[in-house]
Structure 1
Amino acid sequence: GGGDGGSLQQVLRYPSVEEAVVCELDQRVVDLSRQYFTAGFGDPWTDPRATLLVRDAFGFLAENPGQFDVIISDTTDPIGMAERLFSDEFYQLLVRALAPNGAAATQCEQPFFDTALIKEIYCVAKSLTAHPAYYYTQVPTYPGGGIGFMYVSNTPWEAGLATPLPPGINNYINPDVHRAAFALPEFFRRALYGE
């Protein structure tokens, strides 16, 4: 996923990013996004650090063990062709493709509607890494007004707070919002973590 360039644009805001590789299954997504979105948002595909691969992410991840500091899985919902991006096999490939201290973030649905699926994904991530964690943010265009993500890593998410954000990088995230994203409603925290 990621062919719309939105996640890519956000990633490329960080000067420390040396290369950003996007695997998109459908070239038409990229073409239409460039045609209709770039007027208002710019064209991240012109950045020399951006690489587009029109191919399936499964094969790409399998061919690149230990290569990535960060992997962001920018997917649609777990239905149809995208369903396998929520599978045990995908998470195994994802973790295998991470560098030793790497971290991944995957779209992981809504706690108010998809608790069972999120718990299943968390259990898989927990079997593969030491510090998986679910986090949630508000996105008004999603059902219920928000969406969740799974942090998948052997490094605790709190380690990200140690690196200050470059000034002017964004107008949303700060250390308080970062911490708050991992604070879960009690019903969901108990269901997910069993505490």
Structure 2
Amino acid sequence: MSGWYTETLYPDVAQRLRMGTVLHRDRTGLQDLVIFENPLLGRVMALDGVIQTTEGDEHVYHEMLGHVPILAHGAARRVLIIGGGDGGLLRRVLEHPGVERATMVEIDRSVVDLSIEYLPAISAGAFDDPRAELVIADGCRFVKETPESFDVILVDSTDPHGPGAVLFTEEFYRDCKARLAPGGILCTQNGVPFLQPEELRSSHQRLGRLFADASFFVAPVPTYYGGFMAFGWATDDAALRRRTAGEIRGRFAAAGLKTRYYTPDIHVASFALPAFMLDILGGAAAG
């Protein structure tokens, strides 16, 4: 139907967003990219038929993927972001005054450039922060070859098809673990469990073979159709997942964060998984 953008991620269900002005549409060297305006959600970016981010609700996703691991860690100085070309996650990472360096590795330079041009409100100048380091490279190769270590690694990937597929493999997770400093945390984008249960199950199995504590936390991101969005959580320090609201509240206040979705209470509650997710995991990750 003309005037509508239909997402093609799932074979049996779909969502449509009304398309106002199409600001940019082209094929980059790697992906089909379109940026358009929607009356409710503001500017929208889609890659290969899948909605990636919108001005209207990006804060839910980026605040949770950034603030949860950094505040749980408590002393993160070096953060690595794999993907995240729109700059929204980089922005949230750099909101933490204790972060000294945020390295972002994005495979597609066009996504970064077009996001800065057409979606500047999402990154809000993060790429100009002197603590930000942008590397245009394959994320898998970077974590395999870099000699650096990081306190927190965040994987802000597309779904497991196309260029993002390799970011869901056990080999990639193993290389990430090798890059983590002691007490480090790996967090990943892990899809919508109600519609992508196998992604949740397989990621948990792979992470569980590598880390002492592998689980998930959740957030409702309206644009990501199908219910809760899951974020993978992996560390060798199980205590990090069990920080109290009081501990997080103190760190949140000290960081001076201003948020639209994240709160310390939501931080703690987000690790309480609904029963259907625990069923997918075979009862695992309940503790």
Q: TM-score, normalised by structure 2?
A: 0.64
- Who is 2:90 aligned against? 8
Moved more, 155-164 or 87-96: 155-164
Q: Which amino acid aligns with 2:194?
A: F
Q: Distance in 1 between matches of 2:275 and 2:126?
A: 39
Q: Return the structure number with greater strand share.
A: 2
Q: Distance in 1 between matches of 2:219 and 2:191?
A: 11
Paired residues of 1:65 and 1:98 also in contact (CA < 8 A): no
Matched residue of 1:136: which SS?
strand
- Who is 1:158 aligned against? 242
Q: Where in structure 2 are the equivalents of 1:173-188 lying within 5 Å?
A: 173-188=262-277
Q: 1:65 to 1:154 in 2, by over 3 A?
A: farther
Displacement of 1:44 after TM fit?
A: 0.7
Displacement of 1:66 after TM fit?
A: 6.3
Q: Return the structure number with greater helix share.
A: 1
Q: Does 1:114 align with 2:196?
A: yes
Moved more, 21-30 or 112-121: 112-121
Displacement of 1:6 after TM fit?
A: 0.7
Structure with the greater alpha carbon radius of gyration: 2
Count of equivalent residues: 195
Q: Distance in 1 between matches of 2:103 and 2:122?
A: 23
- Who is 2:109 aligned against? 27
Moved more, 121-130 or 33-42: 33-42
Q: Where in structure 2 are the equivalents of 1:70-81 lying within 5 Å?
A: 70-81=152-163
Q: 1:160 to 1:34 in 2, by over 3 A?
A: farther
Displacement of 1:33 after TM fit?
A: 0.7
Moved more, 76-85 or 140-149: 140-149
Matched residue of 2:209: which SS?
helix
Q: Where in structure 2 are the equivalents of 1:69-108 lying within 5 Å?
A: 69-108=151-190
Q: TM-score, normalised by structure 1?
A: 0.92
1:123 pairs with one of 205, 213, 216: 205
Unpaired runs of 5+ residues, structure 2, are 1-82
Matched residue of 2:99: which SS?
coil
2:126 pairs with one of 38, 44, 66: 44
- Who is 1:135 aligned against? 217
Q: Distance in 2 between matches of 1:43 and 1:193?
A: 43
1:62 pairs with one of 144, 150, 157: 144
Displacement of 1:167 after TM fit?
A: 3.2
Q: Deviations over 1:62-84 (max 9, x none)?
A: 12356000011000111122111
Runs of 4 or more above 4 Å deviation: none
Q: 1:126 to 1:39 in 2, by over 3 A?
A: closer
2:280 pairs with one of 173, 188, 191: 191
Q: Where in structure 2 are the equivalents of 1:142-153 lying within 5 Å?
A: 142-153=224-235
Q: Which amino acid aligns with 2:225?
A: P
